[in-house]
Structure formats: C-alpha cells, structure tokens
Amino acid sequence: MESFRSELEDLNNPIVARDIIDLEKKIRLFRDGKIDSEKFRGLRLARGIYGQRQPGVQMIRIKLPYGRLTTKQMRRIADISDEYASSTLHATTRQDIQIHFVSLDRTPELWAKLEKDEITTREACGNTVRNITASPTAGIDPKELFDVSPYANEMFKYFLRNPICQEMGRKFKIAFSSSDDDTAYTFIHDLGFIPRIVDGKRGFKVVIAGGLGANPYLAPVAHEFLEEDQIVPFTEAVLRVFDRYGERNRRMKARLKFLLDDIGLEALLALVQEERLAIKNKSYAINTEALPDPVIPEELAGGIAEVTDQKKYEQWHDTNVFEQKQEGFFGVNVKVPLGNFTSNMARSFSSIVDQFAADEMRVTINQGYLLRFVRGENLKHLYLALDRLGLAEPGFDSVADVTACPGTDTCNLGISSSTGISLALEKVVREEFPDLIYNNDIKIKISGCPNSCGQHGLASIGLHGSTIKDKQGKVLPALVVLLGGGKLQGGDGIISDKIIKIPSKRGPVALRYLLGDYEANSLPGEYYHDYFKRIGRNHFYQLLKPLGDITATTPDEYIDWGEDHNFILHTAVGECAGVMIDLVSTLLYDSEDKLGWAKEALDQGMYADSIYHSYSAFINTAKALLLGRDVKPSTQIQTILDFQKLFVETGAFAFEGNFKEHVLRINKNEPSESFARTFLADSTKFMASVSTFRAEETDGGEKETVKVAVAK
C-alpha cells in the first residue's frame, strides 16, 4: 500500500494527490473494519472502482471526457493494464475505457500513475455526474455549426469534485451532439445539448430527463435555445434540484426521468429557476480555445502502398472513411469487436496512429475508435497497417458492427451472455448478409440485463439477457428481443418495443428471420424503424413466435454462449449507482467530514462550495436522527419535512421559523462570504445539538428542547 506514495511525487495537482491519499486511507480503514462497507462502497464507486462478478477483484473505469484520448494516454493505460489488470482495454458505449481484475489494495497506486498523463477515474461510477459524452466527430464534422468539444470539456472540469453532485440519489448523464444528426443520442440523457446559432450567437437546444434502463424515457425539450454562457449555470441548477428532490430509497425510481414523471416539466423547470440565485456563476463563459491543437504528422516522404485485396479496401474506404470539414483530411473509423484491445494491440495501434493520423483520437459510442486528420495520400498506408493488426474490417457502425456490454463476463448484473451472442450475430451478417456492411441504419445492440448498458432500448434490433424455465423447472439462458428503436433528428428518438423472449442459442436464427424479412418486404430506401411501424408489432411477434416455443429443446440450449456447462443463474447486487448508506453513525461521521470541507472551502474563498457542504451536513445530520426513529426519507426535501414533523413540531428542537426555512436559505441567498460563514456556523451548531440529543437519548436521560439559533 505504501509504494504508491512515490508515484504522488510527480503529480503537480495537490487536490488530486490528496484525493488519492484519502482513498488509500479509506481502504486501510475498511480492511481494519473501521469503516462501514456500504459507506466504503459509495466512496470507491465515486473513484471509478467497481466490484466485479468475480469475488476479490475490481473493474476500474477510466473517465475519458467526450472520448478524447491521446496516443500517449493509450500507452499509459496499456502499461497499467499489464501491471495491474488483465492486459485488456475495453471501450464502452459511454466513451470510457475499462480494465478488469484489479486488486483493491493497488488502486491508489494505479490511479496515481494514470494521473501522470492527466487521466482520471474520479466519478466514473457511482451516484455522480458520469463521463460527459459527445459526438466523436466533434471538431471535424462537416455538418457541425461549431465544435462542441470545448463545451463538453468545460462541463467535465466544472463538475469534477463539485460538492453538489457527489452523493446524489443516482447517476447523472450528459451528452453533446455535434449536429442535428444527434450522433451522441442526447434524447436518452439526463441533459442533452445540440448546437444552435441564433442571431449570430452560439447556444444549444437542451433536452432533459431522458434515459434507458428497464423504463426508457425520451427526453423532452427544456430550451429550444440556451445561450452558451448559460449551459453550465443551468446544469448546476438542475443538479441541485435533482440532489434535493430526487428519490434515494427506491433505486429503480431514482433517476431524473422519474422526478420529471412525478411533477411534470413545468414544475421541474420552476424548481430549477429557484436555484438561480444561489448558484456559483450566473453566467459562465466557455473558453473555446482551451483544448490543444492536434499534432498532425507530415506527409509521407514516399513509398507506394500496394493493396492486394482491392475489394476489401474499397469496402473499408466506403464504410469506415469520411471527409472532414478540414479540406484534405479524412476521419477514419476503426471497428473493434466488443470494444476490446489487448494491451500489446493498443500499443501497436498507437504507433500506427502517430504515423498516419493526429495524436488525438476519440472513443466512439459504439465501442470503436475514430482517427482524425488522416491525409488522403496516407489512407492506403493506414489501411495496410491496420489490416496487419486485424483492424481494417469494413462496416463500421453498420448492421455488422454489433454493440454489446461485458455482461456475464464481469458484471454482477449480467443475466445471460451478451458478448458471445454478439460475435455469433456478426458472423451471421458477415456470412449470410454481406452487403449489409453498407447499411448504417439498422443498429444491433445487446445488454446482459435490462439495464441497457449496451443501449438495446434504442436499437433497431435490441436484445437483453434474461432466463426461461421449461416445464421441468430447468432454466435456459434467454434473450428478450426488442425492435424498431432509433434516433431521428434534433434530439428526438424512438424507443424500441419488446416483442418476445427466446432461448439465447436461437438468437442467430432470430436475426436471420428479421433481416430476411426486411430484405423481402421493405420499401426501397425505407428505414427500419419506419418499416417496423408500417408493418406493425404483431407481424414481428408472429415471425419470431416459433422461436419462443420451448416445448422441445436441445441440450445445447441449456448452455450459454462461451460456456461448457448448463446455465447457472447468478444473482448479486449491482453497483451501477451504488447503494444507500442508512447507518446513523456513518451519517454523523459524514456530517463531520462535510463541515470540515465547508470550513476549508470557506477559507479558500470558495463560498458556493462551502455553502453546499454545510447544506449537505444539515441533511445528513437530520437524516441520522430520523433513522434512529426508523424513518427513512426518500428524498432530501422529505428529510427536511420529516425532521420538522417529528423533532420540531414535537418540541424536541426549536428554530426561529421552521426547519425547512432554516435549511433552504441555501437557495434564498447569494453565495457570499457572509452567508457562507453564517450557514456553516448554523450547520455546526445543529450538528452539536443533534450529537447532544442523541447522547442523552442513548443514555436514557431527560431530554430538554434543543434550541437552535438562526442567524439573521
């Protein structure tokens, strides 16, 4: 555990170094039994450390804002995967990279080494603002009004370690699309931004409270046009509302989309407006020049690239290459099966990129990579180099490019295999429908469970893991088939419809039926979601119905893809958004921490941060006493109301005014030094009063009314 400290000496950021030291300290406390396991779970998840399906090892999620990755960073990740993990780099649908089978005790050292190349794991998991995604083509997209990369980057920096979004009820996802084509799928995000220019001013169309999972929602429009200096203040206000009003007990109801469903868009935006007075910045200018220019290699000195398989090259060029908005340069998409690179392949790939493209690439949302600024005369040379690595397969983002989450390979929530079936489906397309490599309308996406990490809920043909029991009670691995989803224009999308559940081993046959049906019966140029809508759900149910009949099964149908034994249903608690911490002592310990952070932020002149830490301490402290009464409020606002009812109205505590007014001064005041000092003092007094009250209650002594003064 001590060896990581030498790695910290090279870090120039003391905040990062302290964060890593704190993780190492908390791991020791956890190992010594001095910190609650649920509290520790939330802490490690917020640092990108996710428990795997396999006991005793962790998945580390590396946060790459808008998928931006330099070749130097990729080499760093590859080296770290060799030293600490399984020598595999997995690209995700949220433009992260994950490495697996890491020892918990080695995570501080691993993190410190990542930070040497400005790579973080902070808030890659847990109830936080997750990785901010964007169209991988941002900056080179011929259709874009302007490059959204600096906006995504500024949003990432602003909310990293921001106290308003460290312990929310659930995760929060933000996306920027480069154009109305909406290649970042903004409509499934908590907040989505699409560029607009009105009267010569830059801004964004903003959609809000979308999401996938078992209950998918399409994001409605919050603003048709929001000026660029308002997107960060608006996002901050939304996060404050979500933190205060979002569900915290019922995990499956804890996303922003459910709050919107409960109170409606008008009421949600009214709550957002109420926060405007208290937010840190009423206007926030985006530095559009902050990102470094890409390093582009010079033209090749000479040499002829001789392509032997001209047909494959032409297919690759037609399906994986496009002209950038910068004249003379091309973007090249690289199809990566399951998003997996070995570490050696990652290093070789980086060398190819350095030779033929800009040093900065983008992880794509379909688990591939986009190379940028490739000169036209270098395309054949690049193709040959990629082909030697097996990375020049045509059909990027086509029917033949199946998206899949890791599923049962590593995830606790995986029900049946997503990776094995995806390879089988790609084989069907490659061998039986080869011309579909040119079809980038139909998307096939697979998740190992209903939670849609593989984005099956917006796919033309979506599948998610499940189970079926036969008449004898034996369990078969299964797939739920969903059809007809997709993206439209300008932040609008279509959620796919559930059709039928079939045994997993029948997945290739189902795909064969579906693609054959589409080829036979679709109109010329008809998109799949239009075809699905025209033909109707019942047609597809009847088409696939025979595959759902399990009156007759074969022995191999009881064996999941990639396995050699009969299916065993694995059940465990997933960690996609953490779990609730409902222990009184842990909450009071948290309050002490938050008051310390509030004092530190105040001393540094960070008044808005100090105020929010003081507010969080108020909530935690009140919740601690409520839990002592076996009352478990589902939201922060409910915590305030329940404390008023059970402890103020009964005379146990007294305030000048009521408890709600006392605490919610947070959004009735500007974040000034004066108010920050007052609010911290009041929160500290409240903490001391509650501690005294609890000690007396525990001792069984007489309890007097506790008066908590409210500073005017």
Nearest to 90 by CA among 116, 114, 60: 60
Give the homologous superfamily in CATH for domain 133-274.
Answer: Sulfite Reductase Hemoprotein, domain 1 (3.30.413.10)
Which helix (DSSP H) or strand (DSSP E) does residue 486 occupy? strand 486-487
Say which range, 227-236, 254-263, 647-656, has the weakest mean pLDDT: 647-656
CATH 1.20.120.330 in the chain: give the residue spans.
Answer: 584-708
The mean pLDDT value of the chain amounts to 91
Q: What is the pTM for the complete model shown?
A: 0.92
pLDDT of 339 over the 70 cut = yes
SS3 percent helix, strand, coil of the chain, rounded to 5, is 45, 15, 40
* Whole-number pLDDT of residue 669: 95
pLDDT band at 417; cut points 50, 70, 90: confident
Using alpha carbons only, what angle is made at residue 33 by residues 28 and 35, rounded to the nearest 5 degrees? 75
What percent of the chain has pLDDT above 90?
76
| CATH 1.20.120.330 applies to domain 584-708 | yes
| Confidence at residue 579, expressed as pLDDT on a 0 to 100 scale | 36
Is 52 strand, coil or helix? Answer: coil
Give per-residue pLDDT as tens, 503-559: 999 999 999 999 999 999 999 999 999 999 999 999 999 999 999 999 999 999 999
Q: What mean pLDDT do residues 553-572 have?
A: 83
2: pLDDT strictly greater than 60 = no
Instruction: Report whether pLDDT(707) > 60.
Output: no
Euclidean distance between CA atoms 686 and 673, whole angstroms: 20
Residues of each domain in the chain carrying CATH 3.30.413.10 = 133-274, 403-558
Tens-place pLDDT, residues 313-336 = 999 999 999 999 999 999 999 999
**Token pair recorded at residue 692:** 């005294």
Judge contact between 504 and 516, C-beta under 8 A.
no
Question: By mean pLDDT, which of 81-90, 233-242, 418-427, 577-586 is the weakest?
Answer: 577-586
The answer on pLDDT for 580 being more than 50 is no
Assess whether pLDDT exceeds 60 at residue 353.
Answer: yes
Work out the burial of residue 668: count CB atoms within 10 Å of its CB; fewer than 13 is exposed, 13-18 middle, 19 or more buried.
Answer: exposed
Strand 174-176 relative to strand 191-198: parallel, antiparallel, unpaired? parallel
Percent of the chain predicted with pLDDT > 70: 94
Select 310-388's CATH number: 3.90.930.12, 2.60.40.10, 3.30.70.3340, 3.50.50.60.
Answer: 3.30.70.3340
Average pLDDT over residues 64-90: 97
Separation of alpha carbons 406 and 39, rounded Å: 26
Pairing of strands 493-494, 461-469: unpaired
| β strands within 352-485, DSSP E | 360-363, 369-375, 403-404, 444-447, 461-469, 475-483
CATH 3.30.70.3340 residue ranges for the chain: 310-388
List, in sequence order, every residue forming a beta bridge with 502; answer none if it has no partner. 479
* Residue 572 confidence (pLDDT): 55
User: What's the average model confidence in pLDDT over 100-128?
Assistant: 95
The second-level CATH assignment, the architecture, of 2-115 is Alpha-Beta Complex (3.90)
- In CATH, the architecture of 403-558 is 2-Layer Sandwich (3.30)
Q: What is the pLDDT of residues 601-647, one digit of tens each?
A: 999 999 999 999 999 999 999 998 998 888 999 999 999 999 999 99
pLDDT in tens, 246-291: 999 888 899 999 999 999 999 999 999 999 999 999 999 999 999 9
Amino acid at 700: G
Does position 190 have pLDDT exceeding 50, yes or no? yes
pLDDT tens-digit map of 488-507:
888 889 999 999 999 999 99
pLDDT for res 709: 45
More confident residue, 110 or 593: 110
Distance, in Å, from the CA atom of 357 to the CA atom of 371, rounded to the nearest integer, reads 6
Average pLDDT over residues 51-69: 94
Residue 191 has pLDDT above 90, yes or no: yes
CATH 3.90.480.20 maps onto the chain at: 2-115
Q: What is the DSSP string of 213-272?
A: TTS-BPPPEEEEEEEGGGHHHHHHHHHHHHHHHS--SSGGG-SHHHHHHHH-HHHHHHHH
